[in-house]
């Protein structure tokens, strides 16, 4: 079942590259008593993700801050090493966006947001979406119809509906 607005986020452990290597991150702890934005992409360094989705949140980071968003988190079914390199390559890390790897896609599957496109080499990847989460509850969810487009899940679109 796909997560919906009003649902509680499922707890899952993602991985972030820390100063001493890969470190586990509990989504329940990350969102508890906080207002955060989570956006997900099919894959790091893939065309739309790299040239449109991440840059939309880099551009709008200050506007989210002004609306009380405490953290913007990018999730992809990639390992933390790739997510670290991608955050550096896109300027997301420098902008203060948290890059989390869902290496086994357990978070993505728990949300019901997984898909596969074997001809493109994508298996158990995340659909493209953006959500506002307040104290672990999804208060706004915007999912793309196609993983190759970034319209309703872009930073500007999410901001417009907050």
Q: What does the pLDDT read at residue 121?
A: 76
What b/e readout covers 76-95, taking b as 16+ CB neighbours within 10 angstroms? bbbbbebbbbbbeebebbeb
Mean pLDDT (the chain, rounded): 95
7 inside domain: no
Domain assignment present for 4:
no
pLDDT value of position 116 = 82
* Domain range for 151: 13-160
1 assigned to some structural domain: no
Is residue 5, in this structure, part of any structural domain at all?
Answer: no
Catalytic residue IDs: 49
Q: Span 49-54, mean pLDDT?
A: 93
Query: Cβ-count burial of 105 within 10 angstroms (0-12 exposed, 13-18 middle, 19+ buried)?
Result: buried
71 in any annotated domain:
yes
- Which domain CATH number covers 79? 3.40.30.10
Global pTM value = 0.95
Residue 106 lies in a domain: yes
Decide if pLDDT at 113 tops 80.
yes
Q: Please report the pLDDT score of residue 53 as a whole number.
A: 96
Split into its structural domains, the chain has a count of 1
Residue-wise pLDDT for 135-162, tens only, equals 999 999 999 998 889 999 999 999 999 9
Local confidence band at 119 (pLDDT 50, 70, 90 cut-offs): confident
Which pLDDT tens digit goes with each residue over 22-46?
A: 999 999 999 999 999 999 999 899 8
């Amino acid at each position: 079942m796909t997560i919906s607005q009003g649902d509680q986020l499922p707890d899952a452990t993602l991985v972030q590259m820390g100063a001493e290597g890969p470190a586990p991150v509990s989504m329940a702890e990350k969102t508890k008593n906080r207002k955060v934005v989570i956006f997900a992409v099919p894959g790091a360094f893939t065309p739309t993700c790299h040239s449109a989705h991440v840059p939309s949140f880099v551009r709008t980071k200050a506007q989210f801050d002004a609306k009380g968003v405490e953290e913007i988190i990018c999730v992809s079914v990639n390992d933390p090493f790739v997510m670290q390199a991608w955050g550096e390559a896109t300027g997301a890390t420098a902008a203060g966006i948290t890059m989390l790897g869902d290496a086994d896609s357990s978070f993505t599957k728990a949300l019901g947001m997984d898909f596969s496109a074997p001809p493109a080499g994508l298996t158990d990847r995340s659909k493209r979406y953006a959500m506002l989460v307040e104290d672990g509850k999804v208060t706004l969810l915007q999912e793309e119809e196609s993983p190759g487009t970034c319209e309703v899940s872009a930073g500007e679109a999410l901001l417009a509906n907050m």
